[in-house]
A and B are shown apart, each in its own frame.
Chain A
Amino acid sequence: MSLLITGGLVVDPSQNLEEPRDLLLEGGRVAALEPPGAIPRQDRRVLDATGLVVAPGLIDMHVHLREPGEEYKETIETGTRAAAQGGFTAVACMPNTWPVNDNASITRYILDRAQARGSTRVYPVGAISVGSRGETLCEYADLKAAGCVALSDDGRPVMNSLLMRRALEYAKTFDLPIISHAEDLNLRADGVMHEGLVSVRLGLKGIPASAEEVMVYRDILLARLTGGRLHLAHVSTAESVAIIRAAKAAGLKVTAETAPHYFSLTDEAVLGFDTNAKVNPPLRSEGDRLAVIEGLRDGTLDAVASDHAPHSVLEKDVEFAEAAFGIIGLETSLGLTLRLVHAGKISLGRAIALLSTNPARILGVPGGTLAVGAPADLTLIDLNREWIVDPTRFASKSKNCPFGGWRLKGKAVMTMVQGNINWTEMECLG
């Protein structure tokens, strides 16, 4: 079965393309990509994408789906439905489930559930160390064979520098990237928000920017030492951006992501003790926020990933110090990124690179391109659609979102995986 998508603006950073194009999908792949009208309609099904952006399917390379073990917060079914509604065709899920995804059987369980109930592709990230306890290495070859695309002890940072060195080296053997949650737990101590003007006012214990930066620097030094592939997760500070920029200039194989809340909010969101604004790394200062945007613009930061971290009211409707860290992001990530586009901070092509092309390249997974022969994973976006964020209408099981009530411009209206529509708000299919 084939589908002809006509009239859309195809934005594909992998081909440096931002032009009106018609797109023919056949057998789950991109069969042709031609100027408008060049592909004969014959008796094909036609999807009119006039006024829409046609992009390679968005990939969120950092989410927490909570299954197995914390299904009351999110499941693979609800999390991937949230992803599809947010415009994503694939997600990479972090291993801090219960039990931890540190062996092939857990990886296979996740993939089986994704196969049965998922609305998007799911790429498991395996643990760096057994139980993410920071003591011994997991079986990376096994994890890779089972389907893991990267390794991370996200949420439980690798404090032991020797273990991090070995992980980078051992992962290199199997060509897997190490995703670093860069945080010095001793420096963080019992901090609950960014150490700055707001923490001193609210009497909340601070997490200094340096708790992240010293580990960003350490991991870059270890990447240089080992030649391993290092990817830095959820970069939140100006100095982290500067360190990564310098590392890239020196030719190191380092990539990095940030999350929408770091370029959309500052620590002032915590005023009033709003636990939905409690996240780790914490929301930083305005200077950090602006530096993160500049990093996205100039290529220092390669990807936008939501760090979608669902928590229920049990973890969030409590005293600020007791509340869990985390913000859900799958259903606001695209809208918040497009805010940067509408504000003229980054180009549309850059936004799609950050949300699709680069994550695919970093994880070494299919997608991120609409080149002929590529999988027919794509996202249709209405750039001018205005909508108001209403967490009660999210597909995610959890509602811990600090953006409720925000008016955003730009929204996905359809996602397709291997040529199959897995979610849409569009009515007419010709």
Chain B
Amino acid sequence: MELRRKDLLGIADLSPEEINLILDTAASLKEISTRPIKKVPTLRGRTVVTLFYEPSTRTRMSFEIAAKRLSADTVNLTVSASSAVKGETLADTAANLEAMQPDLLIIRHMASGAPHFLARRLKCGVINAGDGLHEHPTQALLDLLTVREAKGRLDGLKVAIIGDIAHSRVARSNIHGFTKMGSEVIVAGPATLLPPHLESLGVKVCHSLEEAVTGADVIMMLRLQLERMEQMFFSTLREYSAQFGLAPRHLALARKDVIVMHPGPMNRGVEISPEVADGPHSVILQQVTNGVAVRMAVMLLLIGGEKG
């Protein structure tokens, strides 16, 4: 089986069958990472380039480890935003990379749609590793895998996503992913951080953490970017934390076997209390482990077959 597509740009354009294929493949690849010699030759001779216009350690490293475990050659290019402004255009950067004939380009960019811009121009496959406020598809896939492992299913679950939805590509991709797979998604946050027309994505919208987590099977906390305060999106960290920070008392409202997720990096004591982050309901580190498996699966499905 392989994905019949050149690129992975977002969850919005994936079918539930494609999502299941990726998750099943990822599940079967997890075992490789537990071996003493964590490497299979599947992508030997293939070249994978990561092109990151935003600082990221864990996502880039996760992609790199995934590629190496499949024996692909990896090259990492980090472009600081300031030098990109002065330097060449994205189209030129892409053309130059293409000339070196990579098999796969993994891009993170602050502009929504930048991976789509590249995918239209390049013959090689493109994986979106996060574009602006738009999508972060591999994050949503690893979240889906983590939930499926914990719950045994995705349909019929109640998933609460809490925090800065407006500026979160993780939230957008997860909203598409969970609703496609039959979960019920409820989002909560201050109205300033919930974009208008959010309901059109098929989610329930509320302004109360308590309401959102009541009866939830899954609670996903989003990272609050601290600079939003100066941008008038909320008053103070103290108030944000009091209203929308997840604490042990909230877990009592959720289902007994609720799991708590966070895409990282966490602001401990802001959106999530240390007791919850490190507590028995937390699956935050499983998410990281599954990130490698999901990224291996996506690379394999995009360039592992005959097409390449």
Contact = CB atoms under 8 A, between A and B. Distances in A.
Interface of A: 195-197, 199-206, 208, 272-273, 317-322
**3 shortest interchain CB distances as A-B pairs:** A203-B134, A273-B113, A203-B133
Given A203-B172, A205-B133, A319 B197 contact: no
B82 interface: no
Contacts of A205: 133
Nearest to B194: A200
Interface in B104-148: 109-114, 116-117, 131-135
Given A272-B116, A319-B117, A200 B198 contact: yes
Given A273-B117, A318-B89, A319-B117, A200 B111 contact: no
A79 B200 CA distance: 42
Given A200-B200, A273-B116, A273-B117, A206 B111 contact: no
Given A318-B89, A319-B90, A321-B132, A206 B113 contact: no
Given A318-B89, A319-B117, A201 B112 contact: no
13 contacts: A195-B196, A196-B197, A200-B201, A201-B200, A203-B131, A203-B172, A272-B116, A273-B117, A317-B91, A319-B90, A320-B113, A321-B132, A322-B111
Given A273-B117, A319-B117, A321-B132, A200 B197 contact: yes
Nearest to A195: B196
A272 B201 CA distance: 17
Given A273-B116, A318-B89, A319-B113, A204 B195 contact: no
Contacts of A200: 195-198, 200-201
Contacts of B89: 317-318
A85 to B, nearest CB: 30
B195 A319 contact: no
Contact of B201 (A201, A206, A318, A320): A201
Contacts of B117: 273, 318-320
B131 to A, nearest CB: 7
Contact of B132 (A195, A196, A197, A204): A204
Interface residues of B, number: 25
Given A203-B131, A203-B133, A205-B133, A319 B196 contact: no
A208 B116 CA distance: 25
Query: Which of B109, B133, B201 has the most A CB atoms < 10 Å from its CB?
Result: B133
Contact of B196 (A202, A206, A317, A322): A206
B200 A273 contact: no
Contacts of B172: 201, 203
A93 B200 CA distance: 41
Contacts of B131: 203
Contacts of B132: 203-204, 321
B135 A196 contact: no
Contact of A321 (B91, B112, B201): B112
B68 interface: no
Contacts of B133: 203-205
A204 B172 CA distance: 12
Contacts of A322: 111
B195 A199 contact: yes
B249 to A, nearest CB: 32
B9 to A, nearest CB: 10
Contacts of A196: 196-197
B229 interface: no
A204 B200 contact: no
Contact of B90 (A195, A199, A206, A318): A318
A318 B112 contact: no
